[in-house]
Amino acid sequence: MRVGFIGLGSQGGPMARRIIDAGYHTTLWARRPASLEPFADTAAKVAGSPAELGAASDLVCICVVDDADVEEVLGGDTGVLAGMTDGGIIAIHSTVHPDTCRALAKTTAFQSISLIDAPVSGGAPAAAERRLTMMVGGDPDALERCRPVFETHANAIVHLGGVGAGQITKLLNNLLFTANLATAKTALALGEALAVSAQSLTDVMSRGSGNSFALNSIGQFGGSLDMLASIAAELLQKDVRLVADIAEKAHATPGAVLDAADAALELMDHPR
């Protein structure tokens, strides 16, 4: 399978590297030449446009930041769809609105191209160590065709339903993580108010029933959210907004998890 990859940032870069190292014929494209520099020592080819990448690929993996970026690299005269041929597959690894994926899947179907949404969780280290979790929505046969490529960087590849199901799952995961940041941060702050240090609390609670990924993420920075906020606040704000919109349109009540996530965003000075 010939693979194209667009979105070579902190998450996509290590994923692309694993695909290349596994020996797949890989083509890359990036807006910024600097994003391509880490791949200069590999066998990967560089396309002049997303359309050129699409023409050279059976599977195109998209790992850009948001909905607008996904739509931009796929559409238009120079987009992936302008070059990709019948029978191809597009995998959206970006975390975006499920409706975006559903609308794009209808568009790609007219060209006999399958689109699956396949966001991931775990971060760059997990990709490098082949232990990403991938949440997939879409045609199960398309997933099976892609599975060997995905297994170069993911060890848990879960099919969750139709197009959009992967995005909903990833967004709920991020919503819960954001909510856990608020509960962990306020628990540590309460402990300090009661004369128990944040580090001591983290050491104990990380071994008990109060443990969470969020707790350890805050604990490694001495109980402060500042570093996490500088890295992830904007992305978490985007994802919480998406979940809130999806829930509202579905007339579903998010309840305490959204309240807690909102509290975390407030603590990071990025209110929803």
Q: Which residues are tagged catalytic?
A: 170
Q: Can you list the positions of beta strands (E) in the chain?
A: 3-6, 26-29, 45-46, 59-62, 89-92, 114-117, 120-121, 132-137, 154-161
Residue that is written with structure tokens 């199901």 in the block: 165
Please list, in sequence order, all residues whose beta carbon lies within 8 angstroms of the beta carbon of residue 259, skipping any fewer than 6 positions away: 179
Structure tokens at 48: 């002049």
Token pair belonging to 71? 């739509």
Provide the sign of the torsion angle of the four alpha carbons 182, 185, 191, 192, taken in this order: negative
The Cα–Cα gap between 172 and 139 comes to: 21
